[in-house]
Structures are given as C-alpha cells and as structure tokens.
Structure 1
Amino acid sequence: MSSSEDDTPLVKANGRRTGAPTDVKMGDATGTNGHVDPGVSIRFGPVKAANDVDMADADPQADGAAPKRKSRASIGQRKSYAEPESSEEDDQPLSKRRRTSVKHEDPETDDDVPLALNGRKLPKASETAIGEESDSDVPIERKLASQKKKIQQKAEKDAKASRKPDATKAAKAAPKAMANKRQTNGVKKEPVDEKPAVIKKTAKHVQLKGKPAIPAHVKKAASGKSTPVKKEESEEADDGEEEEEYKWWEDPTKGDGTIKWTSLEHNGVVFPPPYEPLPGDVKMKYDGIPLTLHPDAEEVAGFFGSMLNATQHVENPTFQKNFMMDFRDILKKTGGATDSKGNKVDVKDFKKCDFQPIFAYYDMKRLEKKALPAAEKKQLKAEKDEQEAAFMYCMWDGRKQKVGNFRVEPPSLFRGRGEHPKTGRVKARVQPEQITINVGKDAPVPPPPEGHSWKEVKHDQEGTWLAMWQENINGNYKYVMLAANSDVKGQSDFKKFEKARELKHHIDRIRKDYQKNLKHELMVERQKATAVYLIDQFALRAGNEKGEDEAETVGCCSLKYENVTLKPPNKVVFDFLGKDSIRFYDEVEVDAQVFKNLKIFKKAPKKAGDEIFDRLTTSALNKHLSVYMQGLTAKVFRTYNASHTMSTLLKDMKATGNNAEKVKAYNDANRKVAILCNHKRTVAASHAGQMEKMSERIKGLRYQKWRLKQQMLDLDSGLKKKKGAKYFERDEDMDLEWVKEHQAFLLEEQRQKIQKKFEKDNEKLVAEGEKEMKAKELEERLQVVKDMEKKFNKENKTGKVEAEGKGPTIDKIETAIGKLEQRVENMEIQAQDKEENKEVALGTSKINYIDPRLTVVFSKKFDVPIEKFFSKSLREKFEWAIKSVDEDWEF
C-alpha cells in the first residue's frame, strides 16, 4: 500500500478502486472467496525454512498516515541468564530479541537455533529441483493435494466434535472479547520496553519440582499394559543400592513453573587442550618463503592448513576473505611473520599463501591415529572417559542426570551453514574468565583451571543451563545443558507434542476464522488471516527480520516483494532463502481471496526490498493465535499438521510382508508428511556413490546366486534340460571383466576379515595374560584366501563351478538360492527407499515434527522392532514415548 493510503481502507465503487475517508472500512468488494484446494508446497522446497524465534508483540499503530518501511536491521542484543530454551518471548521487544540467539544442546531436535546467513544470490532452480514421480507425469505434491484436503476436513469435523459445550462457549467468547478492543490499521511498529522484560514460562520450560497435569489418555495408555519396573544400578559410588526407574511421564506431580530446580550441583566444563606448536621443519610458506610465526598465529594458520581437503570451504571466496582478514589481524598483534633470517614478511595476498606443509603434517598425524591398534585406541578412549567422567553427570534435585555438551568448543575456523557471511572467521579460544557457572546456592562452586577464575557464578533456578559463555563470531550465547535423554529434555519434548495435540480441538475454528478474515475490513486483520493461511496450508515458518550481518533468510511474516510472484488466476510462486540458506522455491495454488490479498499487499508503490506483510510481526501473529489456545504459536501448526497427517495415514495403513517392506511402508507415510510439511534437503554429494555401492552389493548377491546355480549343474547336469538353459545363464551386466573385479573384491574383503579377527583374538589373549599368536598363525588362516583365488581362476578358465560345502545337495542349494533372492529383494526395497528419499528430510519429520508415540504405535501394531526407526540415542531421548503408549494410542 502506498504511504499516503495507509490510513485509507480499500473500497470499490462501481467496480473501481477509490480512496475513502479514514472512517470508511474495507468491504467485501474484492470478490467472493472462490475456495480451491491449496497445492502442496514441495517442489523446490528446503529441508528447513527460516528460523522461528517468537518475537514481542508490536502494538498496531493508530489510524493515520504512516510511511511504509523496509525491514530494518536488528539493533541491540539482550544479555540474559534466563531460561535459554524459551519459545515464547512475547514480553521482549523486537529490538532486543532479534539479535539474541541461543546455541542449543541438541541441534538435531531444537527448532529454534538461529542460522544467520547472508542474502547471496539464489541458486538456479535446476540446482534444487525435485524430479517428478517416475511412473507418472503428475508431480507427487499434486497427487497429495486432494488427500491433504480430506485429512483437513476430517480434522475440522473431529475438532468440533471433541469440544465440550462449555469449552466451545468459552472459546467463542475469547475472540469476541478481542474484537471489542479498538483495532487499528497501522503499519508495523516496535513496542517501547518500559519495564524490564520477564521471560514467560513456556511449553519448553520444564521443571523438576512443580507438578503438571499429565493428560488422562497418557496415564491410561501408560498403565494399559503392565510394564515391568526396570531397575538399574545406581551410578553413585557411595550407594550400592538399586534405584527404581523414574517414569516422570506417569507422574502427575511434575509440572511447569518458573522454578526449574531447588538443588543443582556439577563439576563445570572441560576445556580443550592447549595448542601444540608445529615441528621446526613444518612451516607455512608465503610466495615460496617458509615463515616463522608466533604460536598464536601459527595455530590460526594450522586451522586453515589442516582442512585443505574440505574444498567446499577452503575454495569458497568468502571463507578465504574472512580467514585472511582475521589471520592478518593476529599477525599484526603477534609481531608479524619473518623469514629464516629474521626479516619481516608482509603476508597480504591469499594466493601467495601455501599451507600444504601444514596439511601434510596434520594428515600424517590423522593417518597415524587411524593406524593405531584397536587395543591402543580402546585404551586411549578409556583414559579420556576417565578424565571426563566427573563432568558427564550432575545432581539435579537429588537425581543424577547426564550432561549433554560439557566440552567447551575448541578454537577453529567458523564454517556456518548454508552461505553464512562470516564463514572462515576465527573462533577464538574460550577462557574461564568468559564463562558463567550456574549452581545451587548451597552447592560447591566447581573450581576453574589453575590461575584462572570464572566470569560469574549464578544461582538461576529459572534456567536449565549449567554454564554459559558468549562466542565471538555472532555474539551468540552457548549453553551447557542436560543430555537429550534427561528428564528435563524429555518433558520438553512431551509438552511440545501435547501442545500440538491440543491444537486438534481448535483447528476448525482457526481455519473458519482465517477464511472469514481473508476479506476483513481492516488491512492488519487481512494480513494476519493470509499469514495464518500460508503457515497452515503450506507449512511456512513464521520468519523474522535479520541484521545487516546476517543472511536474508525469511519466513512468512518477513516475505519481501521479490519473494512472491503472482500468476493469475490463483497461482503463487514463492522464492526465498529459508532456514540453512536452502532455497524455498515452489509454485502453489491458493484460494482466490488469498491471491487477491497478496496482489493488494504488493501494490505500488511497493518495490523490491519492501515487506509484503508490512503491518504484521511474528509476535503479533502469535499473540493473535494465543486467543484460540494458550501457548499457541505459528510453529505449533507444523508439529500438529505433521503428527495429525501421520496419525491419519497410520489408521488406514495395512503394512504387510517382512520387516523391510513394513519399514518402507512407514517411510512412504513419513515421506508424504515431509512433502506436505516442506521438510526438504538438497541431495547429498555422497548420494550417487552410496547408490552405486548398493547397486554393486545387489549385483554381488546376484553373482552368488549364479554360482549356486552352477553348483547345481555340477551335481546334476540334467537340470539344464529340466529347468531350461536360461535359468542358469549369467546376467548380461556381469561380463568376465566385472566378474574378475568382483572376485578381487571378495578376496580382499575375506583377507581383511581374517586379519581383523586375528588382531582381536590376540588382544583377548593379552588381556587374559596369555601369549600372543605368532605371524605363522595368520599365514595359515590366510591360506583360505589363496584357495579361494585358485578356485576363482579355475572357474574363469573352465566356466564351471564345483559344488561347495559339506554334503551339498540340490535341496540345500535351492534353499540357499531362496535366501539370496530374499536378500536381493530386501536390498532393492532399501535402494528404492533411499532413492525416493534423497530430497526429502525424513529425519526432520520423524524426530522433530511427528509425535514419536506414533512411531511407537506403528512398531507395536505391525510388530517391527523400534530399533528399525530409532537409533540408540533416539531411543534414550524418546524413552518416555516408547514406554508410555500401546498400539491403540491415538494422537
């Protein structure tokens, strides 16, 4: 909207757009709402979109002329010792929140980790394009559109039925109360923070001292099937008694309050080892001249030199430029570089720098470490674990809890994700004087390294962090937190998914209201409705404004003029850098009214750089959503839509066959969720190689099958006539050259197995105090490989394969062939699954957005081991889900 029209609602008179006095409201003349089934945004979408940090509410500006504005750079940064996992910061002003970011303990599951990147040129569409279904000309996202619509309609019907009459009455009263407040139509405005901000308690704030009400369905599900109480040894040295397992998810006494703990004791953090200078004969060269550097400067040169094999970084011009800038600064501070005669050398041209000697040294050290005997590696690990044992656990309200990231990051070169503008900058060594410790008032303060002191010691009972410091690259605060499988983290996940489950009772009203408000008389309400529509239908992240030194990663509320292209009658092209600077590019169909609204929001004099939702902030949107449900924010829609979709698909699923086929059925459903929710990723550089290896393994199994068939002929040549010559032919893609290469591979594989077994047996003998076996024993064992080689050479020469094994029979060989065929089938299923998932982030959906209890339901319903879906660390993280539901549980 033009600045002169900001206070003038849009109306139509006789089909024309005209100006009107400030008291004239926006009517419905923009056209009827021709509702269409929205498309599914996936074609070029990213794995993750822009970062979702909830921001403070912006009070709408009073009616009156107000200039439009471009998104401004963030200003200020709030230093806070409060709960670092907060996901609702509505009391914090935008100017203070936007530059404050948190390094979470578990980036795999944390959805709020800011990924600040620069606004570089977008990649070509072809670089991130997703192919269409191989068996059809119709893209899969179009196929899913109608299925998505049916799921939504059923969800709205179920939501209406699930609400009690009194709850419905109260829910309807809330929006009316809000509507009675004076609404304005001003542009975005940042609130003035008159009082010190207070962090609200959120779903992610988990307390071990209060008592939350665990929903009845959880208690019922948990107690539906009796699970033996697991007992494990207490890890406390002074207590030999067994400690009963603590099932907090069954404990209605645990709740969410402002106080997270009453007692906290730990041993601080582990610092990286000091720098070890390079040998005297290993030097960086400049223009061919070996340089003598101060240890601090040499360490920085080593950062670059040690990673020359990481070409995606060291060949990046931005990485080189930033490194050179910091390297020159350190040279200046440490007296510069000199040649062998002590003459000063001005290091200023990156192209003249030669780090190859440093790389060769560190590469040699890596190979030496890799070549260490397994016993020595095991011993070194045991020594390291012993040194760190005291830091791995803390005492939290009297319970022993595992600490997640107790190691301080070592100095290095910052890499960042996507196209970060600060990639290549030097991450400085963190000193104890920068670290703040959080412990109980009565707990002993962990001692800092000798000769040092802590920056500060806090007793912050509202925080779940144990230690914190500010890193030098982006000024972000890094926190030492509890491990993912701790009670606190588990409750955080539990509450996140319970919040999404709660949304299912309100989704119908929300969708009904935003469809109605798409034609609201006030522009700010239209923008809210349009934004919620896009977030709900296309899983866009809410988005926030970025600072000048951050990438232009955006989301819904921060979409710029150039990020949206309109194609009449109702197609919209989104093109922007989302989270991780992964390009979100897709063409979708939207409701006719949404199309009209976006056209209005883009109307001249707006131009490139201007915001489309210029009267809306993320916090204002979240405040609007909280009217429907306490704690509801834009990000809850992603969790709800993913979990509800998976739940619906799971109800109709008929997974049959072996475990591989059942796992594929689960992955197929997961893939639909990932597509519907835009959980995309760029194809990994290693994908083609991995697929080739899988193909070779399948081919190798087919070769084994052919050899078995030949052995059948060796036992009974008459089978060729009985079964037909074609049955015994070698596959066309297995010519003699390939056969010889594969035989060489099999021989080497067998040789390595024997050598490893020999080394392992020797380690066992030494551990038991016995003598090691001599090299002659290894030679005797390797005779098997020599015999295999002779056999292969004979087979290649004669074209015949002799029957192998003890008492070979036709029946035994046919049984072995059947097993091989099953292995081939399973591997082909896995290969197909891997290929179909190459551009879909199934892990993102399964771990962060699909309620883990749904995966447990699938596991129990179709009798598939949970290990097929969750790794050991994930099984620990989602222990509460695995132990709290049975196969009849519903989201």
Structure 2
Amino acid sequence: MSSASDFSDDDRPLGAPNGAPNGHHHPNGNGHVPAQQALSSMSEDEDMPLATAHSSAVPPPRTLKRKKPVYAESSSDSEDDTPLASSPAKLATSAAVPMPGALQATTVPASSTNGKGKTKTKAEPSDDEYAEDDAPQRKRAAANKKPAKKKVKQDAPAASGSDDDEPIAAKKLSAPRKRKAKVESDSDDEKPIAKKLAAKKPRASKAKAEAASGDELPKAKKASGKVKKEEEDATGSPVKGKGRKKKEDEEEEVFRWWDADANGDGSVKWETLEHNGVIFPPPYEALPSHVKMKYDGKPLDLPPPSEEVAGFYAALIESDHAQSAKFNENFFEDWKTVLKKNPPRDGTRVTSFELCDFRPMFEYFEAEKAKKKALTSAEKKELKRVRDEEEAKYLTCLLDGRKEKVGNFKVEPPGLFRGRGEHPKKGSLKYRVRPEDITINIGKNAPVPVPNMPGNWKEVIHDNTVTWLATWTENVNSNHKYVFLAAGSSLKGQSDMNKFEKARELKKHIDRIRQNYNADLKSKVMADRQRATAMYFIDKLALRAGNEKGEDEAETVGCCSLKCQHVTLEAPNFVIFDFLGKDSIRYYNRVPVELQIFKNIRIFKENKNDDDDLFDRVNTTGLNKHLQSEMKGLTAKVFRTFNASITFQRLLDENTLENATLQEKLNAYNKANREVAILCNHRRTVPKTHDQSMEKVRDKLRGIKYDRMKLRHVLFKMDRKFKTQAEYIEDESDIDDEWIVTHEESMKAKDIEKAEKKFKQENEKLEEEGNKPQKPSVLEERLADIDAEYKVLVSERGTKLAELKRERPAEKVQDAITKLTERISAAKLQIIDRDEGKEIALNTSKINYLDPRITASWCKIHDVPVEKLFSKTLRVKFPWALEVEEDWKF
C-alpha cells in the first residue's frame, strides 16, 4: 500500500497497482435436509449467510469490468472545476461496515428543527456498531495480548457476541400512563375460535376477548374457555410473557438512573464493582464407543480432542454451511492440525475430506435431541432447576452497592466459525476459552471470583473508567470479546440515551454542516472535494464510513473504501452503486444526484482502474476528525442515527390514523419502520419457510371464516329470514367442501392430541403429589365426547344449518359474527404486513437507530399498547424512553 510520502502535492489521484473439497460427496453424509435439523446447541439463526439485498429494480449481475460511462456535459465543466491534488491521508485499517439506503427520505428542512435535545454527554467514540458476532482469533498466541482499554460503547457485543436484544429476565418497569383503549388480546394459537359451534356455545367472556383481538391471527380453540393473552412484536409473532409465575412480577424495581445524574462524561463509571466472573461451558464428553465416524468406509477411532472437532462438523452436515466449499476447506485444514496432535488410535491417516463420513455422529446427535424432546415436563423442569442454580450467582453483580443484571456471562463454547456472507474464514475452528485467556475487571476491594473450571485468570484489573466485567481475545479473527452489564442496566441505558441525544443535537447543526460540505464540492483541493462528496453520500444515503479490509477479511466496503468498480455513472445525473455491504449483503441502488456530485465522481474515476479507490484522498480517520470540527462528538454513525430517527418521526407524523383499527395503526408503524430499514439497507434473505408460513396463516384466516360460517348457519336455523339479510347472505368464497372436511378432521386430531397430553400432565402432577393417577377410562370418556362432537359437525355438512349445544339469543350470535368479521379484516391486514416485510429486518433499526422515545410517544398518541411494538427485551432495554410525554418529538 502506498504511503503519503509517495505522492506530491501536485499529483492528481493515482490508481493503485494492480478445486477445494466441497463436502457434497455421499460418503460425507451431506444432504439437503433443512438446516433446523442440525444439533440444537449449534444454532444457526444469527450466523446464516445473508442473501443479496433487494432493490426496487432487479439489479444486473455484478461485474468487475467497468463500461465507459456516458457523461453529462455542461457549460460549467471547465478547467476551473478540476480540483488541485493534496497529499492523501493515512489509510485506516478497521472493518468496513456500509449502511446504504434510499435518497429522498432524509432531507430535513430548517423549519422542522428545534432546540431540544441539548446534551452534556460525550459522543460515541467509534463508528462501529457491533463487533462480529462470532469472530474469534486465529492463533491462541494472540490471546496473550492485552486488549486496549475500551470506553463504554453503546453497541459493544456481549460475551458470546450476541446483540443487546437477547432475552433477559424482566425487571418491573415503572407504570406508564393509563391508556384510553383496552389492551387487546393477541393470542396466536393453532385452532380457529369457533371450533364446533354446533355442539357448544361460546361464552360471553370469550366473545369479549375475541373482540379485543382484532390484530391477531385466528385462534384454533373451542368457543368456550378462557383466552390466553400473549404479547406480540411488531411483526405479529407471539411473545410469551403474561400469565407467568408471580415471582417475576415481584422482582425488584429498576434503578431509575434517568432521574439521577446520568454520569455520561466518559470518565469514572463506577466506584465499586463486585461480580462472579463468567461461566465456562462443560468439558467435552466422549461419544459412546459404538458411535464413530467413518473414513473410507471404516470406523475411525478418534481420541476425544479430535472427536470433539469432528462432532462440530457432524452436527452441521445437513445445514447450508456444509454446502460451502470454503467452510469445508477451512474446517478440514484446522481438523488436520488437531489430528496431528491427537491422531486416530488405529493409526489411520486422514488426508481426504471426500473419504470422511460424519453421518453416524449426526444420527447420534439427532437421536439425543429426540430423547431430550421426549422428556416429561417434570424431568425438563428438574433439568432447568439444576441449570438455574448453577447460573444464579452469575446473573447479577453489585455496582456501587446496587444489584444490576449482567448481560451475557456465558463463555461461548468451542465450535466452527460460521461467519456472515462469504467470509474467508468460515468453517475455521474456534478454540475452547480457558481462565488463562480471560482478564477480569472488578473493584479494588472486591473478592476475586473463582473460575468454574481449573485454572487462574490471565489478569485481574481494577479499571473504573470502563464498563466491561471480563474480556478475552478469540482466535479466528483476533477480536476482543467483552462481558457487559445487561441491556436494561443503568450504564447501558445511559449509553443508549446519550447516543440518541447526540443525534438530536445534530438537528441544530445539520443546515450549517450541509452548507459547508456543499461549498466544498467545488473545492480546488482534491482531498476536500472528495471528503465533501463522501459526506454527501453518508448524509443522503446513510452509507457507513467504511475502512480498509485485510486480505483475510470479507470483501465488504463502505463509503470511504468504495472502489471505482462499485460506482457507475449514467447520464444525465444518476449514480449506480453496486457493492457488498455489511454481512456481505449486496447493495444496489440507482439514485439521482446533484450535477456537481455527478461531475465529481467522473473526475475521481479518471485514469483509474476498476480496483482503485474512488476516494483515494479520504479515510475514515480524517473524515471523523473533520466531523468533530463541525460538531463535538459527530461521527458518521451519528449521521445514520439522526437520519433514521428523523425520517421515522416524519413518516409517522404524516399518517392520519383517526378512527383506524389497531391493526391499521400497526401496519402504518411497520410501513414507516420498513422505509427506514430500506434507507439503512437492513435487508435479510426471504426465510426458506416463508411460503409455508404464509400458507399456514392463510389457513388460520380460513379457520376464522369457518367459525363465522357456522354462526351464520346457526342464525339460519333460528330464523330463515336471516338468509336474506345482506350481512349474512354472502358465503366465505375460499372455503369449499373439501377444505371443510380437512379442517374438521385436523381440528379433531388436535383435540385428541390435546386431551391425551392434558391427561398425561394431570397424572404426572398427581404422582408428584403422591396421589393415585387417573384410570385410562377417564381418557376414553374424554375421547368419546370429542368423537360425538365431531359427528354432529359431519351431519351438518352441506345443510347450511347448525345449532348450538346451549340456547343463545339471536342478538348474541349476531354480535359474535360481527366480531369475527372484524378479526377477519385484521388478519388480512396482518398477512399483508408480514408478506411486505419478508425481505426487511425491522429489528435492527428499531434496536440501534430509531430513538425509542419516538415509538413510546406515538403509542400514547394513538392508544397503541407499547407491547405490540416493543418486545419484553426492548421494554427492559429502554425503560427511560417509555415515560416520555406524548407530545415529545425527535
């Protein structure tokens, strides 16, 4: 790489100089069975490669060869418009994390700004949002390096690399303002609500519950009985949380740090700190002697260290990871290194990946999963109790004498690095972390925690200017891992609030900053002109700043690390971006730009090759230094947070939701959230099970229609005059006789299964209490009742007449029909919302870029329960935001 001394001040920008095993062979056992069949402990949800980003227009295939563009000429395109060169700044070396999006959504008129949001706190020190979730180091020797001090960062990863939105135990939050509207039920069970209405009458309380659940998908349940209320997130997925044990409701109150000193000055974070360190995963247990992988068709007798690594791969043979040639290549190379130290006991030399058959191990893991799933509820409870007792002391720490929850205190177990996208190191072996790898941070007078495995800590320090409790360095990518307090803790909450307040402060400076960089777009100094152009893209397109990438890192780019091949010009004023952004998601965007931007890009690309830097005189260090001169604490990350939040606020304010139903309000909120997610390029692959899932919810919708049909038939039998009334005359068009037969048989099977499960649970409980279990005849009677009920339904097929088991007035039946109709409308809206969001990751922006006070205020204005939009995890993470007044604006 050229240094600054290689260029003179007079220079124009110069360009920079210019068969593996695949694991698909049958002996490996690699098949095409869905990935969820892999070992449950090897969860893939967070590490699956993400696919190409969606765009409004279908993007053309990526190519490294750049066509000669057609440029727009103008009378102002003269010698005077070409800037002078300046020495390039030193190139940065941290990871590129681009965040592209849409152009038109971000312009903020000066009239829309206000003076609120002034903050005394220090800005976020880094543009990086999260460290790679599972990015361990390549060499164990690197783990001996002492990590640099790390000031508190909002988005630092937890110990295992998981995001802040991992579920944690709830704390009792302050009671929000009383809502005008009743909280709706959002149960999402499998059965339609009016299962056998001809045989049993719905209770009034049930009908009332149905009315309140207009936003939910149908519930496959008899018309009688209580309706369980569940929380839903913004995508409509049920989130269990209500009706839990009393002890969760009686937890201690959250420390209201937002009513005290925010302590966000970036210096001392705590006075005293006491905790119990981290909990290590259990040691490896060798497989039974009869379970052995095969090599060249013969069982391979492996010692435990080699067998453990083979098991990591065996658990994944039916996942997408095992279909990747790079994943298989890296695994096999690392496994061979382990085999050299721990060779097979029978002397076999393992030299060919194609001759390895891991299926015997995979089948054993699957059988063990099935056994675990088949445990009785009592056995599962006992296992959970033992686990909870082991983890209890790690759950909390004492911070300044106050009990606070710890985020992720579990050390990540060894395994294979999954990576994201086409990461060059995916499949590499992540070593087992030991006490000798971990540095502990505690108060000076606090007792040193004792590891739960043999060994001594690498170091024990007492640094009260940082907020991590423990740190170590992993071997795959030499990344530092940290244990922080939980998302709902005071320190994390302060960091969150300071981040959003810093973004609000930008409102007071944004007009001046935009005037300044617009003036520099015509600067005679090349470095200034490139910097101004980069700022334009960061501001208008929410691009991440981006840094240089190493050869062993995924080739993702951001604004400052764009290559000429990533940007194409199209007359008269269109710029086409085509590159791999964060997580190797393709970013394709064709946007109109100001003519000066168009001409600048043309100048920057002159006399350069495709793989030369577009901005060869700009790097993130210099860019952020300039941003600091514009506003204290300003970084490219603050720009993204500001543009995301202010765009979200504007989109929500544009909606007129008077007399809207709850589901219509939720759809409007999610639509605004989607637009921000597109702006920030928060894409995801369409889930493989999406079509299957959509068919399932459509079937639930038909189940509600079936319930309404049966009630209509009840009315017809009461009085034939109802057949002529407009609201009851129309049939449910997508319910035919064949579907009705299938639906009723399915309901019967579920009821039988439910009765058998309930009978088993009742007997288990009786035995636990020392009582005699029920006789089988009790179950037989219940099954006979179910059979009789469904025979009635069979007899009613095709008659368009039905009756209830108990008499009900026609008015009650009519009310129930009206409420079911409302539920059908809500379910249709929810289906549309879910389908539109199949390629968008809504939670990323909601967790990191959208000020939570916007949501809290909007919910109060429109009488929407915040539980509909914020999961329990987010409510614990943002307690300070939930108390905002309804007239609050970003």
What TM-score do you get using the length of structure 1 for normalisation?
0.74
3-state SS of paired residue (2:449): coil
What does residue 397 of structure 2 align with? Answer: 394
Aligned counterpart in structure 1 of residue 518 of structure 2, from 477, 490, 515: 515
3-state SS of paired residue (2:408): coil
What does residue 278 of structure 1 align with? Answer: 287
1:496 correspondence with 2:499: yes
1:865 correspondence with 2:865: yes
What does residue 190 of structure 1 align with? Answer: none
Aligned counterpart in structure 2 of residue 359 of structure 1, from 345, 359, 362: 362
Query: Could you tell me how far apart the structure 1 residues matched to 2:695 and 2:253 are?
Result: 49
1:602 correspondence with 2:601: no
Q: CA deviation at 1:756?
A: 3.6
What does residue 263 of structure 2 align with? Answer: 254
What does residue 823 of structure 1 align with? Answer: 823
3-state SS of paired residue (2:508): coil
What does residue 566 of structure 1 align with? Answer: 569
Query: Could you tell me how far apart the structure 2 residues matched to 1:205 and 1:288 are?
Result: 49
Distance 1:9-1:354 versus aligned 2 partners, 3 A rule:
closer
Distance 1:288-1:504 versus aligned 2 partners, 3 A rule:
same
Contact persistence 2:759–2:779 (CA under 8 A): yes
Query: Could you tell me how far apart the structure 2 residues matched to 1:269 and 1:224 are?
Result: 35
Letter in 2 for 1:749: K
3-state SS of paired residue (2:578): strand
What does residue 539 of structure 2 align with? Answer: 536
1:775 correspondence with 2:776: yes
1:303 correspondence with 2:312: yes
Contact persistence 2:279–2:451 (CA under 8 A): no
Query: Could you tell me how far apart the structure 2 residues matched to 1:345 and 1:581 are?
Result: 39
Distance 1:66-1:864 versus aligned 2 partners, 3 A rule:
closer
Deviations 1:347-405 (A, max 9, x none): 22222211111111110110111111122212211110111101111111111111111
1:325 correspondence with 2:333: yes
What does residue 133 of structure 1 align with? Answer: none
Bigger shift: 855-864 or 737-746? 737-746
3-state SS of paired residue (1:279): coil
Contact persistence 1:711–1:803 (CA under 8 A): yes
1:635 correspondence with 2:634: no
1:292 correspondence with 2:301: yes
Query: Could you tell me how far apart the structure 2 residues matched to 1:754 and 1:333 are?
Result: 56
Query: Could you tell me how far apart the structure 2 residues matched to 1:678 and 1:811 are?
Result: 52
3-state SS of paired residue (1:587): strand
Query: Could you tell me how far apart the structure 2 residues matched to 1:68 and 1:875 are?
Result: 46
Q: CA deviation at 1:777?
A: 2.2
Q: CA deviation at 1:784?
A: 3.2
1:443 correspondence with 2:446: yes
Query: Could you tell me how far apart the structure 2 residues matched to 1:795 and 1:197 are?
Result: 74
Query: Could you tell me how far apart the structure 2 residues matched to 1:517 and 1:261 are?
Result: 44
Contact persistence 2:85–2:525 (CA under 8 A): no
Contact persistence 2:274–2:398 (CA under 8 A): yes
Distance 1:774-1:200 versus aligned 2 partners, 3 A rule:
closer
What does residue 612 of structure 1 align with? Answer: 614
Q: How does 1:667-686 map to 2 (within 5 A)?
A: 667-686=670-689
Query: Could you tell me how far apart the structure 2 residues matched to 1:472 and 1:646 are?
Result: 40
Query: Could you tell me how far apart the structure 2 residues matched to 1:159 and 1:272 are?
Result: 51
Q: CA deviation at 1:890?
A: 1.7
Deviations 1:412-452 (A, max 9, x none): 11111112111111111111111111111111111134641
Distance 1:291-1:421 versus aligned 2 partners, 3 A rule:
same
Letter in 2 for 1:582: I
What does residue 102 of structure 1 align with? Answer: none
Letter in 2 for 1:888: D
Distance 1:516-1:202 versus aligned 2 partners, 3 A rule:
farther
Q: CA deviation at 1:274?
A: 1.1
Aligned counterpart in structure 2 of residue 459 of structure 1, from 462, 486, 491: 462
Letter in 2 for 1:329: T
Query: Could you tell me how far apart the structure 1 residues matched to 2:671 and 2:252 are?
Result: 41
Distance 1:547-1:203 versus aligned 2 partners, 3 A rule:
closer
Count of matched residue positions in the alignment of Structure 1 and Structure 2: 712
Q: How does 1:133-144 map to 2 (within 5 A)?
A: none
Deviations 1:99-127 (A, max 9, x none): 7xxxxxxxxxxxxxx889xxxxxxxxxxx
Letter in 1 for 2:743: H
Query: Could you tell me how far apart the structure 2 residues matched to 1:703 and 1:244 are?
Result: 46
Query: Could you tell me how far apart the structure 1 residues matched to 2:147 and 2:450 are?
Result: 32
Deviations 1:120-145 (A, max 9, x none): xxxxxxxx9xxxxxxxxxxxx99x83
Distance 1:630-1:872 versus aligned 2 partners, 3 A rule:
same
Letter in 1 for 2:841: A
What does residue 162 of structure 2 align with? Answer: none
3-state SS of paired residue (1:395): strand
Q: How does 1:642-653 map to 2 (within 5 A)?
A: 642-653=644-655
**Where do 5+ consecutive residues of structure 1 fail to align?**
12-39, 47-62, 73-93, 100-113, 117-127, 129-140, 168-195, 207-221, 228-240
Distance 1:446-1:510 versus aligned 2 partners, 3 A rule:
same
**Where do 5+ consecutive residues of structure 2 fail to align?**
14-52, 60-82, 121-145, 157-173, 180-249
Distance 1:536-1:770 versus aligned 2 partners, 3 A rule:
same
Query: Could you tell me how far apart the structure 2 residues matched to 1:441 and 1:511 are?
Result: 48
Contact persistence 1:159–1:507 (CA under 8 A): no
What does residue 412 of structure 2 align with? Answer: 409
Percent of counterpart pairs with the same letter?
Answer: 49
3-state SS of paired residue (1:584): strand
Q: CA deviation at 1:547?
A: 0.7
Query: Could you tell me how far apart the structure 2 residues matched to 1:389 and 1:398 are?
Result: 18
Distance 1:248-1:663 versus aligned 2 partners, 3 A rule:
same
Q: CA deviation at 1:818?
A: 1.4
Bigger shift: 366-375 or 572-581? 366-375
Q: CA deviation at 1:808?
A: 3.8
Q: CA deviation at 1:321?
A: 1.0
Query: Could you tell me how far apart the structure 2 residues matched to 1:847 and 1:425 are?
Result: 30
Contact persistence 1:393–1:402 (CA under 8 A): yes
Q: CA deviation at 1:679?
A: 2.8
Contact persistence 1:6–1:67 (CA under 8 A): yes
Deviations 1:734-787 (A, max 9, x none): 333322222222112222333343344445545555443333322222233312
3-state SS of paired residue (2:847): helix
Distance 1:745-1:499 versus aligned 2 partners, 3 A rule:
same
Letter in 1 for 2:620: T
What TM-score do you get using the length of structure 2 for normalisation?
0.74
Q: CA deviation at 1:569?
A: 1.3
Q: CA deviation at 1:491?
A: 0.6
Query: Could you tell me how far apart the structure 2 residues matched to 1:535 and 1:886 are?
Result: 32
What does residue 382 of structure 1 align with? Answer: 385
Bigger shift: 861-870 or 703-712? 703-712
Q: CA deviation at 1:658?
A: 2.6
Contact persistence 1:708–1:813 (CA under 8 A): yes
Deviations 1:837-885 (A, max 9, x none): 12222212222111000100011111111100111111100111113x1
Q: How does 1:543-558 map to 2 (within 5 A)?
A: 543-558=546-561
Q: CA deviation at 1:810?
A: 3.3
What does residue 334 of structure 1 align with? Answer: 342
- Structure with the greater relative contact order (CA < 8 A, sep ≥ 6): 1 or 2? 2
Contact persistence 2:574–2:591 (CA under 8 A): yes
Aligned counterpart in structure 2 of residue 157 of structure 1, from 101, 106, 111: 111
Query: Could you tell me how far apart the structure 2 residues matched to 1:689 and 1:251 are?
Result: 50
Query: Could you tell me how far apart the structure 2 residues matched to 1:197 and 1:408 are?
Result: 17
What does residue 350 of structure 2 align with? Answer: 347
Q: How does 1:422-433 map to 2 (within 5 A)?
A: 422-433=425-436
Distance 1:290-1:640 versus aligned 2 partners, 3 A rule:
same
Contact persistence 2:264–2:494 (CA under 8 A): no
Letter in 1 for 2:277: G
RMSD: 3.6
Contact persistence 1:622–1:634 (CA under 8 A): yes
What does residue 787 of structure 1 align with? Answer: 788
Query: Could you tell me how far apart the structure 2 residues matched to 1:250 and 1:823 are?
Result: 42
What does residue 698 of structure 2 align with? Answer: 695
Contact persistence 1:159–1:506 (CA under 8 A): no
3-state SS of paired residue (2:630): coil
